[in-house]
Chains A and B, each alone.
Chain A
Amino acid sequence: MTIPPISRRGLLTAGALSCLGSQNLSGLLATPPNTQSKSPPRSAIVVFLAGGLSHLDSLDPKPDAPVEIRGEFGSIATATPGIRLSDQLPQLARRLNRFTLVRSMAHSQGDHRLAERQALSGERFTSVDTPSIGSVVAHQVGWQVPPAYTAIPRQPSDAGVLGPACNAFSVLGDGGQLLAQSPRKQRRNGRRALLRLLDEGSAAGATANSSELTRDEAYQQSLELLSSQAFRDTINAELEPAAVRDRYGEHELGHHLLLARRLVEAGSRFVLVPVPGWDTHRDNFTSLRSQLPPLDNALSALIDDLADRDRLDSTAVLVLSEFGRTPRVNRYSGRDHWPRAMTAIWCGGADSGGRTLGATDPKGQAPRSNSISPGDLAATVLAHVGIHARGIALPPAGRLLLPDTKLITSLVAPVPMTPGNTR
């Protein structure tokens, strides 16, 4: 077969046309090769405190309120005059100039499961079909190693209509444990050849239907993951110097946040770190005395670490909970659910730090003026990662993602709606 002659014009035209064809999203959002040395791709670490963090005892103390509202903890001054934090968070208080306290968050969902789905997806009315923002990131970025959406230790399936390919990769759950079990190299090669042979025989390719293609894709991606020694090293915290590991602390949260930092360095775009145990209906103060110091320690270690490695611009750290807790302490010295006021921490990205966004009334019952909904925060996180939420239409019917939300412009620069991230 002779190769037909190609003119120079034809070659250039073909090249230009191929650029149009390759406008897939992974191309737009992954790092273009020539800018890789300049700035790493923007990513987000979301620390989700499951159960409902008591905002009055941690991030939004009310020292002037009566004792049945302010509780047992005192408050301390921070790096920014005028802002006070609970006395259980001294290290974070010293670093307040690096992050912003979003004190005016409010919504109306008091149920755990629904509020958690709302916080992690941004939608007000959720169902099992609602995709979380992590899975939206996975969907837009596409497949890569390390996976775009990872969770430490694990996150159940939350991709909804976007399909199971967009679920989180559970780094310390089944996914990570399977990665740790790998047979010796020679046997692997031998039997993989057999597998390839068997699969060639059974008519796939052009005549395969969608489920066969999904299966082939899943196998290809898992083989990529299994053969990636770099990824195995990323999730192995032992490779980190002992000094760094000690700085984060010997507890689980410290270990998880250290892994989160390693993952964003390796290229994961959205790391979710769910932390259980904040649902303090009883003995609120006893529980928080044991839970807040590790959080304080690990978070400040993370912030320092990211700052040292010059990653605070490209990595946003968001500390979020389902809802706040009641201003009035109940009779079991605990606090109950209070979605009308809650506080979140935003660190990094385009944010300058050292301030509060909004404030609650003197009793911590509700934001004083404009409130920020979880949807707004979700849209902001997506914008930081480089995704314009408004431009995305979800399968199967094209419903728009996060339709009624507005970006918090002081935390992130708005993403222009380019043809690539509009469907």
Chain B
Amino acid sequence: MIDRPRLDLSLVCWLLLVAASPAWASHNAPADSNTGGSSIDQFLEQQLAAEGISPGPACSDAQFLRRATLDACGRLPTLEERTRFLSDPKPGRRHRLIERLLGSHDASQRWAVWMAEWTGCHAGLNRQVRRASARMRVPPESFSKMWVEWLRVRLERDEPYDQIVAGFLLATTRDGRPDHEAIGAQHDFIKRVKSGDLGSREYARRRTNDLFWRVHLENRELIGSTVANTFLGVEIECARCHDHPDGQWTQRDFSDFHAVFGRLTHAKAPPVALQRRVDLVRSASMAGATLLAALFLLATYLARRGRRIPARWTLCGGLLMLAGGVYATSCFSHLLVPVVTTRVTSPGLWITNWWLGDRTGHMVFYLAIALLGGLALLATTVGCRRLLVSVGPRPGIAASLAILAGALLVATAADAASTAKQPNARLREPLLNRWRRELTSRQQPDRPRRDTEIYLEPLRPDTDSVPTLFDKTAITDAVDDDPRRTLLAWMLQPPQREMDRVIVNRVWNEWFGRKLAHGDQLRLLEWLVDDFRRHKRSLRHLHRLIMNSRAYQRSSQPVAGSEVPANDSYARFSPRPIPGRALLRSIAQASGTAVPDSLASPGVLPGPEDAAERGTRILCGQPEAAPRLRVEAAMYLLVDSTLQQRLGASGGRLDQLLARQSSPEQTLDSIFLACLCRPPSRRERLACLEHVGPDVRSLDRWSDVLWALVNSREFQFIR
């Protein structure tokens, strides 16, 4: 009997798997960002092929170095970087450069300033930034640098974008810390700022960025549209005054969305020092009450031996003091059980407070309650003992303890029940812990708080609009009582892609000078959004993907079919002007002088009288969307005296080159390499040397050459 060969099931499965694997591979293989952003190129080259345009060649390495350094780091490449890059072995040279650039401090600073600008710290909101920083009692430059540093630290760590958005959206000044810690930190921070430290490193350690709200709440009525515009790219500002003509957004929608941020306030928060003092006194009084009760127990034990107390008196007085005792023991419960306290509402307290003043009033009131409580315990214990007199001393003590425990339970239950009914109930840490911490801390809690902060007001049941999300769903039950959390969760959920689309398109705009706007480009945008989400919304991955693509690395030489300026396809790299901030930095680098300090504070516009910071005012004072090169900017670059001085500054590049006794050819090469990343052509060399003339050490003549370079089209453009 020969065994029929049976179909081995495992073999079948294996064969099927092998057969299906190419399908799996092509379906699941993400375009590895290191292999050149192949999907971006697939999309764009398909489009070019459909239009009959063949894409241009790749740019040269020197050009790529200048372009990539300007785009990624906002500055020119140094001579050392150039030498290092060009001497790197050819295969993978550009990949390694990209990794170096994206991981550098300059890159995280450049992208942090970019992000700070469109989140609200830009020169257009100069007035609001100054007001907000005045209320925070810090200088406006400091305010701006804190914002930037907070972002820079996150971008350096390549934190996912949704966490950065959460850091902005869910910010409060307390940041979830207990009151005392938050207040202590605030006092420390202000002391540090006053002593000269800018506090930006300190600020960057916070979980959330409340500076965003400090600035935007200055224009309270537009807060909803600001958030919508910043993170979702949606313009709803018009709906503030009138309904949208197509019926998409009504004024009612606007006010309902605005209600998401309705409870957010920028003011001096309700006083907590009072509360803390009250709690201190309460806890002290409770300790006193317990001590008294213990003493009484001792007294009853001793009294049993001889003395007699008239029953009538004890019973009447006892009933009266029982009430006080229950109240006192309820205070005792706070020592052990975390319950809610919001404000002190006892009428007796208000009266004493009014009569005796704040601090003394409280002391007296609570000591009185403690005394009453102690006496009540005394009386109840005596009364019970009288009832249980037959049982003997030991059960008397047991009965007293039992009554004490019972009163404690009743009081705790009553307290918890009453406070649980209060709106905005939040658990706080038990008082004993806090009290212990306060006694051991170095910070004086008695200093009155005069600082403004961002906080959520308690929910008022009679508010007229219910917070509503963009898709018109009402937020009736907010996560952790903060409607912003619900909004964030909604923004991140799969059907919603606007937040990701907006950031991807903004980043694309920074690299290419235009957004993905129409037709087939939108398919590329959707693919990029999916890829962005797959890689946990890492911005560095997105930068890497774009920088490694062939589309970014193309030459800027015009290609047949793409000459018409309006029809700029991705067949070649479209030259665009260096952004204002990067231009000023590049000029400082080219001349070998220090970068102007105002460049690091994007939200602060130098005043009109400040002649030295004119460059920042003219070149960085405009919103990013507008091209910067206009008449005043051109005039600044041509004739400004501070700029001219920079070019020929002592200790600058020209001064050092001339002091080093280099030959004119070497000097010329050096400045051309520094500015344009290439040596001069023969014609340029002849013309420049002719201009310098016979006196080859003349700083004036050489600074003319540098002036011409800095004002040339090639210098001012990323090409």
A residues sitting closer than 8 Å to B (CB atoms) are 125, 127-128, 147, 154, 156-157, 163-165, 167, 169-170, 173-175, 177-179, 181-183, 187, 190-191, 193-195, 197-199, 201-204, 206-216, 218-219, 221-223, 225-226
For the A-B complex, the count of residue pairs with Cβ-Cβ distances under 8 Å equals: 150
**Is there an interface contact between A210 and B683, defined as CB atoms closer than 8 Å?**
no
In whole angstroms, how far apart are the Cα atoms of A195 and B632 in the complex? 18
**Is there an interface contact between B622 and A201, defined as CB atoms closer than 8 Å?**
no
User: A177 — which chain B residues lie within 8 A by C-beta?
Assistant: 611, 614
- The 7 A-B pairs with the shortest beta carbon distances in the complex, nearest first, are A222-B634, A194-B708, A207-B558, A198-B712, A191-B704, A164-B630, A202-B714
**Is there an interface contact between A191 and B629, defined as CB atoms closer than 8 Å?**
no
Looking across the interface, which residue of chain A has its beta carbon closest to that of B630? A164
**Is there an interface contact between B565 and A181, defined as CB atoms closer than 8 Å?**
no
Q: Which of B234-242, B424-432, B541-549 contacts A (4 or more CB under 8 A)?
A: B234-242
* Residues 197 to 211 of chain B near chain A (Cβ within 8 Å): none
Looking across the interface, which residue of chain B has its beta carbon closest to that of A219? B634
Q: Is B1 an interface residue (CB 8 A)?
A: no
30 A-B contacts (beta carbon < 8 Å):
A147-B631, A157-B621, A174-B636, A175-B635, A178-B635, A181-B640, A181-B641, A182-B639, A183-B644, A191-B707, A193-B687, A197-B687, A198-B684, A201-B683, A201-B684, A202-B712, A206-B563, A209-B575, A210-B565, A211-B513, A211-B576, A211-B627, A214-B627, A215-B577, A219-B634, A219-B711, A222-B632, A222-B634, A225-B631, A226-B638
User: A175 — which chain B residues lie within 8 A by C-beta?
Assistant: 631-632, 635
- Partner of B568 from A125, A147, A209, A223 at Cβ < 8 Å: A209
Looking across the interface, which residue of chain B has its beta carbon closest to that of A194? B708
* Residues 635 to 688 of chain B near chain A (Cβ within 8 Å): 635-636, 638-641, 644, 681, 683-684, 687-688
- Knowing A197-B683, A226-B638, say if A218 contacts B630 (CB, 8 Å): yes
Q: How far is the CB of B538 from chain A (nearest CB, A)?
A: 30
B residues sitting closer than 8 Å to A (CB atoms) are 124, 237-238, 241-242, 513, 557-558, 563, 565-566, 568, 574-577, 608, 611, 614, 617-618, 621-623, 626-636, 638-641, 644, 681, 683-684, 687-688, 691, 700, 704-705, 707-709, 711-714, 716-717
- Partner of A187 from B632, B638, B704 at Cβ < 8 Å: B704
- Knowing A177-B611, A207-B563, say if A195 contacts B631 (CB, 8 Å): no
- Partner of B713 from A187, A207, A212 at Cβ < 8 Å: A212
- Name the prevailing secondary structure of the B interface residues: helix
**Is there an interface contact between A221 and B631, defined as CB atoms closer than 8 Å?**
yes
User: A190 — which chain B residues lie within 8 A by C-beta?
Assistant: 691, 704
Q: How far is the CB of A222 from chain B (nearest CB, A)?
A: 4
User: A223 — which chain B residues lie within 8 A by C-beta?
Assistant: 638
User: B124 — which chain A residues lie within 8 A by C-beta?
Assistant: 128
Seed contacts A174-B636, A183-B639, A222-B631; 7 additional CB < 8 Å A-B pairs: A147-B631, A164-B627, A170-B632, A198-B712, A201-B683, A218-B633, A219-B634
Q: How far is the CB of A151 from chain B (nearest CB, A)?
A: 12
User: B711 — which chain A residues lie within 8 A by C-beta?
Assistant: 195, 219
In whole angstroms, how far apart are the Cα atoms of A190 and B702 in the complex? 12
- Knowing A187-B704, A198-B708, A213-B565, say if A169 contacts B631 (CB, 8 Å): yes
Looking across the interface, which residue of chain B has its beta carbon closest to that of A157? B622
**Is there an interface contact between A178 and B691, defined as CB atoms closer than 8 Å?**
no
**Is there an interface contact between B242 and A125, defined as CB atoms closer than 8 Å?**
yes
**Is there an interface contact between A125 and B691, defined as CB atoms closer than 8 Å?**
no
**Is there an interface contact between B614 and A174, defined as CB atoms closer than 8 Å?**
yes
User: B683 — which chain A residues lie within 8 A by C-beta?
Assistant: 197, 201
User: B636 — which chain A residues lie within 8 A by C-beta?
Assistant: 174, 178
Interface centre among A169, A175, A208, A209 (most CB of B within 10 A): A209
In whole angstroms, how far apart are the Cα atoms of A251 and B89 in the complex? 69
- Knowing A163-B626, A194-B705, A210-B565, say if A199 contacts B632 (CB, 8 Å): no
In whole angstroms, how far apart are the Cα atoms of A157 and B622 in the complex? 8
- Knowing A177-B611, A179-B635, A212-B713, say if A125 contacts B565 (CB, 8 Å): no
Q: How far is the CB of A276 from chain B (nearest CB, A)?
A: 12
**Is there an interface contact between B575 and A211, defined as CB atoms closer than 8 Å?**
yes
Interface centre among A147, A170, A177 (most CB of B within 10 A): A177
